[in-house]
Amino acid sequence: MNLSILLWLPLAAVVAGLILPATEARFAALLGSAAALVLSIVLLFRFDTGKPGLQFVTNKVWISELGIHYKLGVDGLNLFLILLAAILFFAAIAWTALRDWERPRLFYLWFGLAESGVLGALMAQDLALFVIFFDLMLVPFYFLGGGWGDTPNRVAAMVKLFIYTLVGSLLMLSAAVATGVLAQGPGQPITFDLVQLASNARRLPVGSQEWIFLFFAAAFLVKMPAFPVHGWMPDGYKAMPLPVLAVFSGVLSKVAAYGFLRIALPLFPDAAVHFQELILFIALASILYGSVLAFTTRDTRLILGYSSVAQLGFITLGIFSLQDTGAQGALLQAFNHGLVVAPAFFIVALLAARAGGSEDLRDMGGIAFRAPILAVLFLIVAFANLAMPGSSNFVGEFLILLGVFNSKIVISFVAFTGVVLASVYTLRLFIRAMHNRVGPHVESREISLTHGLIVAPLVALIVGIALYPQLALHRSQRSVQASIREAKALTQPAREAQR
Amino acid sequence: MNVNWYLIVSSLVFAIGAAGVLTRRNPLVILLCLELMLNAANIALIAFARMWGNAEGQIFAVIVMVVAACEVCIGLGLVVAIYRRRLPIDVDEIRELHG
Amino acid sequence: MQTSAWLILIFPLAGTLINAFGWRVLPGKACGWIGTAAIGAAFIAAVATFIALQDRAEDQKQVVFVAWDYANTVGVDGKISILIDPLSIFMALVVTGVSTLIHLYAVAYLWKDRGYARFFAYLNYFVFSMLLLVLAANFLLLIIGWAFVGAASYLLISFWYRRTTATTAGIKAFVINVVGDVGLVIGTFFIFRHSHTLDFLGTFDSASRDFAGHQGALTAGLIFLLVGAFAKSAQVPLHTWLPDAMEGPTPVSALIHAATMVTAGVYLIARMHPLFELSPAAETVGAVIGCVTLLIAGTIALAVTDLKRVIAYSTMSQIGYMVMGVSAGAYVAGLFHLMTHAFFKALLFMAAGSVISAMGGEQSMDRMSGFRRAMPFTFVAFIVGGLALAAVPPFSGFFSKDEILTDIGARGGLWWILVVGGYIGAILTAIYTWRMIFRTFWGDPCPEARDLEEGHLYHPEAPFNPSNGEIEDNDVGFPGPEHMIAERSGEMKIAMSVLAVLAIIGGLLQIPFVTDALGHFLDPTFADSNLDLSPSDGLVVVGLILGAGLSLLGIWIAYVVWVKRPGTSTAVRERLHPLYKLFVNKWYFDELINAIVVRPFAWAGRFGQQTFERVVVNGVFVGGTTGIVKAGSAAARALQNGFLRAYAALLVLGLVGVALYFLLQSS
Q: What confidence tens digit (pLDDT) does each residue in C516-538 have?
A: 888 888 888 888 887 777 778 88
**Under 8 Å between Cβ of C123 and C149:** no
User: Is domain B4-84 in CATH 3.40.120.10, yes or no?
Assistant: no
Mean per-residue pLDDT, C289-315: 90
For residue B99, list chain C residues with Cβ-Cβ distance below 8 A.
636-642
Least CB–CB distance from B95: residue in C636, C638, C643: C643
Give the Cα separation of A40 and A83 in Å (integer).
Answer: 6
Domain ranges of chain C: 2-584, 590-666
Among chain A residues, the shortest Cα distance to C625 is held by A164
DSSP letter, residue A193: B
**Under 8 Å between Cβ of C322 and C334:** yes
| Per-residue exposure over C81-104, b if at least 16 CB sit within 10 Å of its own CB, e if not | bbbbbbbbbbbbbbbbbbbbbbbb
Report the half-sphere exposure of B87 (CA within 13 A, side-chain side): 16
pLDDT of residue C368: 86
DSSP letter, residue A47: -
| Per-residue exposure over A341-374, b if at least 16 CB sit within 10 Å of its own CB, e if not | bbbbbbbbbbbbebbeebbebebbbbbbbebbeb
Domain span holding position A314: 275-489
Q: Which of C202, C187, C74 is nearest to C138 (CA)?
A: C202
* Integer CA distances (angstroms), B36 to A30, A453, B3, B41, B96, in order: 59, 72, 20, 9, 28
**Under 8 Å between Cβ of A380 and A347:** no
Domain ranges of chain B: 4-84
Burial class of residue B2, CB neighbours in 10 A (0-12, 13-18, 19+): exposed
For residue C643, list chain B residues with Cβ-Cβ distance below 8 A.
91-92, 95, 98
Among chain C residues, the shortest Cα distance to A395 is held by C71
For residue C649, list chain B residues with Cβ-Cβ distance below 8 A.
22
Mutation test of the interface with chain A: which of C178, C184, C471, C615, choosing the one with the most A Cβ atoms within 10 A? Answer: C178
Tens of pLDDT, residue by residue, chain B (99 residues): 688 899 999 999 999 999 998 888 888 898 999 999 999 999 999 999 988 888 888 999 999 999 999 999 999 998 898 888 887 878 777 777 665
Chain C nearest-CA distance from A423, in A, is: 6
pLDDT of residue B99: 59
Contact between C144 and A389 using a beta-carbon 8 Å cutoff: yes
Contact between C162 and A438 using a beta-carbon 8 Å cutoff: yes
Count of domains forming chain A: 1
Number of cross-chain residue pairs from A and C with Cβ atoms under 8 Å apart: 158
Give the Cα separation of C291 and C6 in Å (integer).
Answer: 37
**Under 8 Å between Cβ of C326 and C335:** yes
Least CB–CB distance from C605: residue in A296, A376, A406: A296
Mean per-residue pLDDT, C390-419: 87
Residue C463 has pLDDT above 80, yes or no: no
pLDDT of residue C124: 93
Chain A nearest-CA distance from C517, in A, is: 36
Confidence of residue C510 (pLDDT cuts 50, 70, 90): confident
For residue A297, list chain C residues with Cβ-Cβ distance below 8 A.
609
Average pLDDT of chain C to the nearest whole number: 86
Among chain C residues, the shortest Cα distance to A407 is held by C193
Give the Cα separation of A433 and A366 in Å (integer).
Answer: 7
Number of cross-chain residue pairs from B and C with Cβ atoms under 8 Å apart: 35
Contact between B22 and C652 using a beta-carbon 8 Å cutoff: yes
Give the Cα separation of B36 and B18 in Å (integer).
Answer: 8
Give the Cα separation of C354 and C352 in Å (integer).
Answer: 5
Contact between A416 and C182 using a beta-carbon 8 Å cutoff: yes
Among chain A residues, the shortest Cα distance to C172 is held by A424
For residue C637, list chain B residues with Cβ-Cβ distance below 8 A.
99
Residue C266 has pLDDT above 80, yes or no: yes
| Per-residue exposure over A452-477, b if at least 16 CB sit within 10 Å of its own CB, e if not | bebbbbbbebbeebbebbbbbbbbbb
Give the Cα separation of C441 and C530 in Å (integer).
Answer: 48
For residue C663, list chain B residues with Cβ-Cβ distance below 8 A.
none
Non-local CB neighbours of B73 within 8 Å, separated by 6+ positions: none
3-state secondary structure of B62: helix
pLDDT of residue A499: 45
Residue C474 has pLDDT above 60, yes or no: no
Lowest mean pLDDT among A89-93, C50-54, C325-329, C466-470: C466-470
**Under 8 Å between Cβ of C345 and C315:** yes
Least CB–CB distance from A383: residue in C71, C151, C186: C151
DSSP letter, residue A360: B
Contact between C73 and A296 using a beta-carbon 8 Å cutoff: no
The C residues from 621 to 660 touching B (CB cutoff 8 Å) are 636-645, 648-649, 652
Mutation test of the interface with chain B: which of C633, C645, C652, C653, choosing the one with the most B Cβ atoms within 10 A? Answer: C645
Q: What confidence tens digit (pLDDT) does each residue in C39-72 have?
A: 999 999 999 999 998 888 877 888 899 988 888 8
3-state secondary structure of C443: coil
Neighbouring chains of A at 3+ CB pairs under 8 Å are C
Contact between B96 and C642 using a beta-carbon 8 Å cutoff: yes
Q: What confidence tens digit (pLDDT) does each residue in C1-22 have?
A: 888 899 999 999 999 999 988 8
Tens of pLDDT, residue by residue, chain A (499 residues): 788 999 999 999 999 988 888 888 889 999 999 999 999 999 999 998 888 888 899 899 888 888 899 999 999 899 999 999 999 999 999 999 988 888 888 999 999 999 999 999 999 999 999 999 999 988 999 999 888 888 888 888 888 888 888 888 889 999 999 988 888 877 788 888 888 888 876 678 888 888 999 999 999 999 888 888 888 888 888 889 999 999 999 998 899 999 999 998 888 888 889 999 999 999 999 999 999 888 888 899 999 999 999 999 999 999 999 888 999 999 999 999 999 999 999 999 999 888 888 888 888 888 888 888 999 999 999 999 998 898 899 999 999 999 999 888 899 999 998 899 999 999 999 998 888 888 778 888 888 888 999 999 999 999 999 999 998 888 888 888 888 888 888 887 655 544 4
Confidence of residue C461 (pLDDT cuts 50, 70, 90): low
For residue C594, list chain A residues with Cβ-Cβ distance below 8 A.
none
Mean per-residue pLDDT, C329-345: 90
For residue C641, list chain B residues with Cβ-Cβ distance below 8 A.
95, 98-99
Residue A447 lies in a domain: yes
